[in-house]
């Protein structure tokens, strides 16, 4: 296998966390930008605009060892005809795993019961007080058949759950309003686009069943946060919120303290040892490129209209 001149464009701490150095050395010669044929990018990569690209006449491809490419792949990259690949599929796995866990825990009313037990510090009559807990025949609504959404659906198949999907690109999907009204648990996996901003507004949030759980591991902008806070303050629904708008909430946000909210600091995606999966996926693509094969996980200009 021939060695490809590669430039690493990512935060300085990432290469050691992402890549097996021996495997990287078998396929790549790490060079300065001016000599690079491939950009191996990650979090922290600057926008590859026309001015920057002018300094790399041999550049042919961008292999992104993370998820979304919109932050650094500019129109100039497409105009130049650069090939683009992403490890978004590898990043989808931990998000889907986390979502599966949260769906099953929500069906079992785990967080609500844990809070109640801590408050009472005495026995709870589960039969009389929580007769509807459990995951048998519950309805789970998946909003967005993205990579993550599709993987969540796959992971749910062994369980006795009814799954509804709402996605404008999926022929067999249901209308979003119908999904919200019919689901015990709703999980968001749609991209953040102008057309999806605040797709869950006050009207749609009101469609959720009393006691339903809303899970958001996608983007905070999908939900009108003021309307969500109002619903949660009422105590009518529960929520598992991993992403917010803004990304870090102000200290006085009610979401930190509401008893019916599980609020986490954007932990669903690849973290810790999980980032190695992203690096391995990117090196797989680099090896395909070195063999003259097509990328397994390509991104095109047209894809940007429907991906995060």
- The catalytic site residues sit at 219, 245, 266
Rounded to 5 degrees, what angle do the CA atoms 94, 161, 200 make? 65
Q: What Cα–Cα distance (Å) separates residue 291 from each residue in 90, 284, 294?
A: 22, 11, 9
**Alpha-helical runs (H) found in 206-274:** 225-234
Cα-to-chain-centroid distance, residue 268:
7
- Between CA 218 and CA 215 the distance in angstroms is 9
- Between CA 228 and CA 233 the distance in angstroms is 9
- Between CA 5 and CA 222 the distance in angstroms is 40
For residue 190, the SS3 value is: coil
């Amino acid at each position: 296998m021939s060695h490809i001149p590669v430039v690493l464009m990512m935060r300085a701490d990432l290469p050691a966390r992402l890549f097996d150095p021996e495997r990287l050395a078998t396929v790549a010669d790490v060079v300065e930008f001016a000599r690079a044929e491939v950009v191996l990018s990650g979090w922290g990569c600057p926008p590859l605009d026309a001015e920057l690209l002018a300094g790399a006449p041999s550049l042919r491809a961008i292999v992104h060892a993370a998820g979304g490419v919109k932050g650094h792949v500019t129109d100039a990259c497409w105009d130049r005809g650069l090939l683009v690949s992403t490890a978004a599929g590898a990043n989808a796995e931990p998000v889907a795993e986390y979502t599966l866990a949260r769906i099953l825990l929500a069906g079992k009313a785990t967080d609500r019961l844990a809070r109640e037990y801590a408050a009472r510090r005495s026995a709870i009559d589960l039969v009389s007080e929580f007769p509807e807990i459990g995951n048998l025949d519950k309805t789970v609504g998946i909003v967005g058949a993205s990579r993550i959404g599709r993987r969540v659906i796959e992971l749910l198949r062994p369980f006795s759950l009814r799954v509804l999907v709402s996605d404008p690109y999926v022929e067999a999907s249901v209308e979003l309003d119908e999904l919200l009204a019919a689901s015990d648990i709703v999980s968001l996996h749609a991209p953040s686009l102008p057309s999806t901003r605040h797709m869950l507004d006050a009207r749609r949030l009101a469609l959720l069943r009393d006691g339903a759980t809303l899970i958001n591991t996608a983007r905070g902008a999908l939900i009108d946060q003021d309307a969500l806070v109002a619903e949660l303050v009422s105590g009518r629904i529960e929520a598992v919120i991993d992403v917010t708008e803004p990304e870090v909430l102000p200290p006085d946000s009610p979401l930190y303290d509401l008893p019916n909210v599980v609020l986490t600091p954007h932990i669903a995606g690849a973290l810790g040892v999980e980032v190695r999966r992203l690096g391995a996926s990117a090196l797989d693509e680099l090896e395909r490129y070195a063999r003259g094969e097509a990328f397994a996980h390509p991104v095109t200009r047209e894809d940007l209209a429907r991906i995060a």
